[in-house]
Chain A
Amino acid sequence: MKRAVLLTMLAVLFALGGCGSQARVWRLTDVRGHLPDLAFTLTDDTGKVVDAADFRGKLVLLYFGYTHCPDVCPLTLTHLHVLMQRLGPLADRTRVLFVSVDPARDTPAILHAYVSAFDPHITGLTGTPAQIEALAKRYRVAYNRGPTLPGGGYEVAHSAGIYLFDRRGRARLLATDADPIGAIEHDVRGLLGTAP
């Protein structure tokens, strides 16, 4: 009898343990252990110097772009706006960080006007070229300034990935701008449910 109870308890413990450690099925690319924790020092769109510790406790969606980008960056930021709407109150537990790859033109004031036009959960970040390069290199993000166009403008080609960090700042998932909003929503909810 004692043995049967012991076996039952073991079975229950095993089942619980098995359940708790069951690998979650992510719809985005799992990068856990492959990319370093979030770390940077930059200037936010209110002009304040911030670092990664200021965003601990929030699930961070990190995206690189620039304000003189009228097509793809607004499309991605609009997708993230729709994501925030779908998350409802959970959106307050997340933060989108839009890092400029064009610090020469992207002042905090322009960044503020730009990100505010999309969603209140987006923070614009800019900095010195060295600060931005350090963060981009950390996540293997490439960007380069194109030739000067008639009128003096220029484009900046940039990686299109969206990096998801859990609330401890650990790199967890990588989305592309081709991933459906539903996939990002699924995984954000998963991270918010499993993150401590």
Chain B
Amino acid sequence: MSRLQRIVLAFAATVLATPAFAAGIAVQQPWVRWLPADLPAAGYATLVNTGDMPVTLTGVSSPDYGAVMLHRSLNRGGMERMVTVNSIPVPPHGRAALAPGGYHLMLMQPRRAIRPGQQVTLTFTFGDGRTITVQAPVRPANASG
């Protein structure tokens, strides 16, 4: 990739940061709930699919964390548990919410001191290979959304 291409890409990524679009799919309102002591933090966003075909989120990566996993909180019979999921489906002309109490990103091993008020970079990868990179604001632990 040429230097010019890199600059154009970087510019495009900045301009499209919130919300970010690929063809037919968008990542809207991303945010991270900050936790102290390098504890794993949760990341949230709304995935919007404006296309005619189902889309699948297959993974998220971040230069700011050593590992990112797709998780889902489940309440069965009054028991709260978290399960790891391999993918999150986004129906055609529909959306998938990564929101507190449901699907979320588990952001582990922060690579730098992350504080509320900062932003972290999240790259969403979809089943067809498309990627969308967004800047997610880091909100305080007790943020309501």
Q: Does any Cβ of A come within 8 Å of B23's Cβ?
A: no
Contact between chains at A75 and B100 (CB < 8 Å): yes
A177 and B100 CA atoms in complex are apart in Å by 12
Instruction: List A contacts of B34 (CB < 8 A).
Output: 117
Query: Which chain A residue shows the least CB distance to B35?
Result: A70
Interface size of A in residues (CB-CB distance below 8 Å): 35
**Subset of 18 A-B contacts with CB under 8 Å:** A70-B41, A70-B104, A70-B106, A70-B107, A72-B100, A75-B100, A77-B142, A78-B144, A81-B142, A113-B36, A114-B35, A116-B36, A117-B36, A118-B141, A149-B84, A151-B66, A153-B108, A157-B80
Q: Are A70 and B40 in touch, CB under 8 angstroms?
A: yes
Choose the segment among B10-18, B49-57, B67-75, B125-133 that binds chain A (4+ C-beta atoms closer than 8 Å): B67-75
Tell me the chain B residues, 120-145 only, with Cβ under 8 Å from chain A: 140-144
Q: Which residues of B contact A (CB under 8 A)?
A: 33-37, 39-42, 66-67, 69, 71, 73, 75, 78-82, 84, 100-101, 104, 106-109, 140-144
Determine chain B's interface SS by DSSP, over half rule.
strand
What A residues does B75 contact at CB under 8 A? Answer: 160, 177-178
Whether, in the assembled complex, A12 has its beta carbon less than 8 Å from a beta carbon of chain B, the answer is: no
Residues on the B chain within 8 Å of A146, using CB: 81-82
**Within 8 Å of chain B (Cβ to Cβ): is A37?**
no
Task: Enumerate chain B residues within 8 angstroms of A67, measured Cβ to Cβ.
Answer: 35, 37, 39
Task: A113 to B39: give the CA distance in the assembly, Å.
Answer: 10
Partner among B40, B69, B79, B100 whose Cβ is within 8 Å of the Cβ of A160: B79
Contacts of B78 in A (CB 8 A): 159-161, 176
Q: How far is it, in angstroms, between the C-alpha of A107 and the C-alpha of B60 when the chains are bound?
A: 30
**Which residues of chain A in 77-92 are interfacial with respect to chain B, using CB atoms and an 8 Å cutoff?**
77-78, 81-82
Q: Within the complex, which residue of B37, B81, B144 is in contact with A82, where a contact is CB–CB below 8 Å? A: B144
Check: A68 CB closer than 8 A to any chain B CB.
yes
A153 partner residues in chain B, CB cutoff 8 A:
40, 108
Q: Is A51 part of the binding interface, using a Cβ–Cβ cutoff of 8 Å?
A: no
Interface status of A93 (Cβ within 8 A of chain B): no
Q: Which residue of A lies closest to B67 (CB)?
A: A151
Tell me which of A72, A113, A118 has the highest count of chain B C-beta atoms within 10 A of its own C-beta.
A72
Partner of A155, one of B35, B66, B81: B81
Q: Which of A93-131 contact B (CB under 8 A)?
A: 109-110, 113-114, 116-119
Contact B142 A71 (CB under 8 A): no
Which residues does chain B contribute within 8 Å of A110, judged by CB atoms?
37, 39
Q: Cβ of B82 and Cβ of A71 under 8 Å apart?
A: yes
Give chain A residues whose Cβ lies under 8 Å from the Cβ of B108.
151, 153
Contact A74-B84, Cβ < 8 Å, known A67-B37, A159-B79, A160-B79: no
Bound Cα distance from A158 to B141, whole angstroms: 21
B142 touches A114 (CB 8 A): no
Nearest A residue to B36, CB-CB:
A113
Question: Smallest distance from the beta carbon of A28 to chain B beta carbons, Å?
Answer: 14
Specify which of A68, A72, A142, A157 is in contact with B40 (CB 8 Å cutoff): A68
Contact A72 B73 (CB under 8 A): yes
